[in-house]
Structure 1
């Protein structure tokens, strides 16, 4: 019983000592075994390791590729146009012993601070070099500039036991105080281009309107010219027809023109016209009646009274004034008196 009570604490202590002397190395890690701050073992391969309990300690470092975002810095290229640059880097611990000696107990945080300073210095040096302008940085050549930064930063980071895998320029902008002025200049440039486009458009529109107006004037002039030609040809044809008709039967033509003149002069409802028998206006019509309306032999054999009876009775309009009516009646009586002696004389 006493031996069992003695063995149990011994076994427990031995188990604790054995467990504290063992450690596991992960495939994503690199391990250093330190004894009073001095490196005793370097384990970079995964597996099981041993150390002296309570005397030695295990320090682990990440063996994967790590990321570092640098602080935003201002650089001045050769064209004196300041830019705000934001970069990031990918790195890994290449030599864990050198890394421990360089950063000490600070570890990854201290290494990133020093690596960030290295990157910022190399960014200023490369982007501020001769023949490197802001247009170069903002163009496709920025990839070449990033490779130059990575090469120089890799050389500087070797003393820390680090390997810089990649460096990229994440953002490249103008400073805030210059940004508004740049935007204003860009807006003014775009407004100038818009004004030029509007002016060219107005000029083209004026040319199109002028061409259209000229086409309209030419078309109207051509149409009017053709219309005048057609009108002249029609008038000539009408005159030819009139001349032909007049030449074929002048008496009928005179009669027709007299009737047409009466038709245009009189209103069918309330018009009245008073003419003397010897008026030129009706002489053609009466001549046509004497020539064509009566047979020649009948005219020669008929007396004046018979011809007067054949003529239509004329009635005075009731709308005539009294003085005009009396004057017409006197004229008719005088005509009858002059005609009676001549008939008796014949």
Structure 2
């Protein structure tokens, strides 16, 4: 009985010692075995690990991809239009031993704060080298890539791997919104006035061209009309001349009938002439001028 009473505490101490010397690392984490603050063992693969009980301790770090939202940051692009930028980063602990030496006992929260400082500085530097239109445009993937690449080197000193940096939102400061809106409105009004002026100029050119074309067409038509009319008059005169040459008496009779038709119209038939006037030769006789001889 005395021997068993003596062995039980010893066995209990041995069991507790064995259990405290074993630790488990799962696939989502990495672990360091520390002895008086010094790194004695790095455990990056999942499974069982061993340490000295009481003397050594295990510190665990997340091995997954982590996200970090930055506080809204005010930047000044190259055109001096201030912008408020919201961004976030995705990163992971790549070198757990270097990570421990860089941040000490502060752990992941201390590393996140230092990463914030790096990202804020790189964001200000990259966005300060371009215009606000480049930042506000939909095609700003190149800017985010530049921020990430610039932050990678500094983050490596912390044992971190920066995987991605994204700009979530870029807005103007509230106090600048109205002034910017008025400036944009004035620019759009100026562009609209320029477009309207160019349209009026083009319309005037089109109208002038159309008027010139009308004048040319009308002039050409009148010229052709006069040519045709002149040719018709010439043909008529030729016909009259031929008729006069064939039968002068008949031609004289035709001319007298035409003159009677034009002169003796309703409302215009009063004429004062001497009785022997030649105008009425064919009214006196169908022989005309030969009847009076």
TM-score, scaled relative to structure 2: 0.68
Tell me which residue corresponds to 2:90.
90
Tell me which residue corresponds to 1:231.
229
CA deviation after TM superposition for structure 1 residue 109, in Å = 3.4
* Corresponding position: 1:163 with 2:160: yes
Q: CA RMSD in A?
A: 4.5
Structure 1 residue runs of 5 or longer lacking an equivalent are 1-9, 294-346
Residues 262 and 120 of structure 1: is their aligned pair in 2 closer, same or farther, counting only changes over 3 Å?
closer
Helix, strand or coil at the partner of 1:150: helix
CA deviation after TM superposition for structure 1 residue 243, in Å = 3.0
Tell me which residue corresponds to 2:190.
192
Distance 2:38 2:66 in 1: 26
Distance 1:227 1:276 in 2: 43
Contact 1:88 1:168 in 2 (8 A): yes
Q: Cα deviations across residues 207-243 of structure 1 (Å, max 9, x unaligned)?
A: 1211211221122122222222322332233233223
Larger Rg: 1
Residues 285 and 241 of structure 1: is their aligned pair in 2 closer, same or farther, counting only changes over 3 Å?
farther
Contact 2:127 2:143 in 1 (8 A): no
Contact 1:252 1:288 in 2 (8 A): no
Distance 2:99 2:278 in 1: 142
Contact 1:91 1:165 in 2 (8 A): yes
Q: Cα deviations across residues 81-103 of structure 1 (Å, max 9, x unaligned)?
A: 43333333333332258538935
Pick 1 or 2: higher relative contact order, CA cutoff 8 A, min separation 6: 2
Tell me which residue corresponds to 2:46.
46
* Corresponding position: 1:65 with 2:62: no
Distance 1:229 1:101 in 2: 105
Distance 2:99 2:194 in 1: 66
Paired residues in the alignment total 270
TM-score, scaled relative to structure 1: 0.59
Residues 152 and 43 of structure 1: is their aligned pair in 2 closer, same or farther, counting only changes over 3 Å?
closer
Residues 250 and 286 of structure 1: is their aligned pair in 2 closer, same or farther, counting only changes over 3 Å?
farther
Contact 2:281 2:289 in 1 (8 A): no
Distance 2:241 2:78 in 1: 101
Helix, strand or coil at the partner of 1:64: coil
